[in-house]
Chains A and B, each alone.
Chain A
């Protein structure tokens, strides 16, 4: 017999899903004033998809997300590999900078960067947004990569070295394949974080560069139109799909190394 806590949980779930459900529902609502239900329609979506500003902002968001993810992953993997064999003190120092980047309010980080950029008269745009995103994204990615590396001793790399592989070849043939699941999870996660980011994108984008969430924020503050629901649903779908894929990769243990071995006839001497 479910107790009071269980019933309360049901309520909470309703509380969690109702608002978003309404946004999604309203994106198909033909009634412009959104007071009642005006019938099912796709017109808000077709309007959104043909809106040049939305399309431009979508492209900007994707660009920023992909570039900042790539840079963040490079930082995460190199930092993770270094901390694996670093002295305890050095490791603590680097780990604390990782921690700080996650814990410090994004507002402070973004504004500090804004300050420096303004002082040295650096133009704001995609590069500056990317710079800001990488600061916190690389920290999340580093944590994920470090967690995976913690289960991998250096013995396998030593074996590779013993068998004739240079440090770079050992990394490419042994370390990287084993790290691949963690890299994929990290990539999916931080791409979502970047795509969804408002504060840094807003402050460091300047007057000429707008990402989709920034557009959304503007629309919400100024004038709530039904089109907003369509954009919102679209953005939400992208982030949900990303996270779900990450969750799927994390739970599917079968993919041990990412590279499918084709057997004796397969791999050429790469």
Chain B
């Protein structure tokens, strides 16, 4: 190989450096440090951390009230994801059936709320769900809520907030999957005797599976680690995983325990992703 060519090749390889160095320094190394911390222990009096290789943090996780909070927060993200699916599917279906201008307008219409500030989106519900907010009044009027309570600072409020913020992320992949379904398949199903709902259940929904899974990933994963929405709509009574972890670092100062919590969250997300992506791959194979 010739010297000059070799240096040109090196120059080209150097292109990978900025990204790799930054990712290493500000992403991978911090995560690694966090994992190390999760095996350490804090001295309550001196606040110094000793690094043994102990599982006590993880055990503490298992035995504490934190576990309850964590499980409930997982419940909420699953609930929110399911709600997004139920609400988002008909919307995606309707949009997929439109043509041209109308369809573009509708898609834009779904995206614009997503383009508003995240904090603002969540804040918008504070008013609506407070004691004299519109939604609370509405629900009282229909008898779903008792006259003294308010919806804000409850798990329901947090779920509503998550659904509101993440709905477009469910609608878009669903729309893409539904759009790809060959209309002739619907006609074939009808021709073979299936009724409206039957066609949906046996042909359309199964074929839209890749979109369903993709939407659940796009909503479920960030929802599990949500911080802002529970902070605003949940008050101090409804905390999610993200808030619990953050408070360990920012308020309590128990870095090892906080790290253990964070690492567990990471693992949870990773496991979920692996399972979901393999399901996605299988679903896409069929389609």
| Contacts A5-B93, A8-B91, A9-B95; A236 near B126 (Cβ below 8 A) | no
Q: Is B205 an interface residue (CB 8 A)?
A: no
| Residues of chain A with a CB closer than 8 A to B225's CB | 105-108
Contact B124–A20 (Cβ < 8 Å): yes
A105 near B27 (CB under 8 angstroms)?
A: no
Distance between A79 CB and nearest chain B CB, rounded to angstroms: 4
Quick one: given A5-B90, A19-B128, A97-B23, are A220 and B31 in contact (CB under 8 Å)? no
Minimum CB distance partner of B27 in chain A: A135
User: Considering the chains assembled together, what is the distance between the CA atoms of A78 and B23 in angstroms?
Assistant: 13
Q: A104-B266, A105-B225 are in contact. Are A196 and B119 (CB under 8 A)?
A: yes
User: A81, A114, A228 — which one has the most chain B CB atoms within 10 A of its CB?
Assistant: A114
* 0/1 string, B7-35, CB within 8 A of A gives 1: 01001110111111011001111110110
Contacting residues, chain B, for A142 (C-beta < 8 A): 19
Contact status B232-A217, CB under 8 Å: yes
Q: Which residue of B lies closest to A136 (CB)?
A: B27
Q: Which of B143-151, B185-193, B241-249, B278-286 contacts A (4 or more CB under 8 A)?
A: B241-249
Neighbouring A residues of B93 by C-beta, 8 Å: 5
B231 at interface by CB-CB < 8 Å: yes
Shortest Cβ distance from residue A18 to the other chain B in the assembled complex, whole angstroms: 8
Number of B residues contacting the other chain (C-beta, 8 Å)?
73
Asked if A181 CB lies within 8 Å of chain B CBs, one says: no
Stretch at the interface among A37-45, A47-55, A239-247, A253-261: A239-247
Q: A105-B221, A111-B249 are in contact. Are A85 and B12 (CB under 8 A)?
A: yes
Inside 8 A of B258's CB, which chain A residues have their CB? 111
Residues of the A chain whose Cβ atoms lie less than 8 Å from the Cβ of B232 = 217, 220-221
| Nearest-CB residue, chain B, relative to A2 | B94
Q: Quick check: is A131 within 8 A (CB to CB) of the other chain? A: yes
| B227 touches which of A74, A79, A107, A216 (Cβ 8 Å) | A107
Rounded to whole Å, the gap between the CB of A11 and the closest CB of chain B is 9
Residue among B17, B28, B34, B124 with max Cβ neighbours from chain A (10 Å):
B124
A269 close to chain B: CB less than 8 A: no
B37: CB under 8 A from chain A? yes
29 contacts between A and B (CB under 8 A): A5-B91, A6-B94, A9-B90, A15-B164, A19-B124, A71-B22, A75-B18, A78-B17, A82-B16, A97-B20, A97-B27, A101-B23, A103-B221, A104-B269, A105-B269, A111-B246, A111-B258, A115-B30, A119-B33, A134-B26, A135-B23, A135-B26, A213-B118, A216-B123, A224-B127, A232-B120, A232-B124, A236-B120, A240-B115
Q: Do the beta carbons of B22 and A78 come within 8 Å of each other?
A: no
Ordered nearest first, which 10 A-B pairs have the shortest CB separation?
Answer: A105-B225, A19-B124, A112-B30, A243-B115, A79-B19, A82-B15, A5-B90, A82-B16, A9-B94, A107-B242
How far is A142 from B20 in the complex, measured between Cα atoms in Å? 12
- List the A side residues contacting B29 at CB < 8 Å: 116
- Expressed in whole angstroms, the minimum distance between the Cβ of B25 and any Cβ of chain A is 8
> Is B262 engaged at the interface, CB distance under 8 Å to the other chain?
yes
Q: Are B132 and A35 in contact (CB under 8 A)?
A: yes
Is A147 an interface position by the 8 A CB rule?
Answer: no
The 0/1 profile, CB within 8 Å of B marked 1, for residues 51-74 of chain A is 000000000000000000001001
Residues of B within 8 A of A (CB): 8, 11-13, 15-20, 22-23, 26-31, 33-34, 37, 87, 90-91, 93-95, 106, 108-113, 115-121, 123-128, 132, 134, 164, 167, 221-222, 224-228, 231-232, 242, 245-246, 249-250, 255, 258-259, 262, 265-266, 269, 273
What residues of chain B lie closer than 8 Å to A221, measured between beta carbons?
A: 231-232
Partner of B116, one of A107, A118, A131, A236: A236
Instruction: Please state if B16 and A79 are interface contacts (CB–CB under 8 Å).
Output: yes
Smallest beta-carbon distance A36→chain B, Å = 10
B interface footprint on A202-232 (CB within 8 Å = 1, 0 otherwise): 0100000000010011001100100010001
Contacts of B123 in A (CB 8 A): 23, 216, 220, 228, 232
